[in-house]
Amino acid sequence: MLTDYAPILILLVLIVGFAVVNIILCDVMGGRRRSIAKGDAYECGMEPIGSARVRLSIHYYLVAVLFILFDVESIFLIPWAVTAREFQGLGLGSIVFSEIALFAVILGVGLAFVWRKGGLNWDR
């Protein structure tokens, strides 16, 4: 059973090793010259104007959270759609389909609630 996860463990070790080696090489071979120009903020080739601490509307965050929510939920629907025929062969097709339909209905109700409350209005 543990041998099934060996490739994932090897890949994880390689990724962490690659990151650590790159950090060490950057520290060893990187330049050490400090100057005011290097420490200055760089904003698309222009001098920054004003504070970087801008207050954003709560609706901005609401739309971002909703995007992540529906994006993650679509990740659950794609594997089901790919394996739907396998469930038919096992005799579980109607049960699994009804569970996914309930999942989609709950998503629809949540979207309707947010839409009715005005959470998708960008003009606020």
For residues 85 and 96, give the distance between their C-alpha atoms in angstroms, rounded to a whole number.
11
User: pLDDT, tens digit, for every residue of 58-106?
Assistant: 777 777 888 888 888 888 888 877 777 777 766 777 787 888 888 888 8
DSSP state of 43: B
- Residue 42 is assigned to a structural domain of this protein: yes
Phi and psi at residue 61, to the nearest 5°: -70, -35
- Residue 124 is assigned to a structural domain of this protein: no
- Residue 22 is assigned to a structural domain of this protein: yes
pLDDT at 40 over 80: no
Segments forming the whole domain that contains residue 33: 2-116
92: left (phi over 0), alpha (psi -120 to 50) or beta: alpha
Average pLDDT score over the chain: 81
- Select the more confidently predicted residue: 89 or 9: 9
Amino acid 98 reads: S
78 token code pair: 């794609």
- Residue 121 is assigned to a structural domain of this protein: no
- Residue 122 is assigned to a structural domain of this protein: no
33 token code pair: 């010259």
- Residue 57 is assigned to a structural domain of this protein: yes
Q: Residue ranges of the alpha helices (H) in 30-116?
A: 36-39, 58-82, 84-90, 93-116
- Residue 33 is assigned to a structural domain of this protein: yes
| CATH classification of the domain holding 65 | 1.20.58
- Select the more confidently predicted residue: 22 or 55: 22
- Residue 106 is assigned to a structural domain of this protein: yes
Count structural domains, the chain: 1
**Whole-number pLDDT of residue 122:** 67
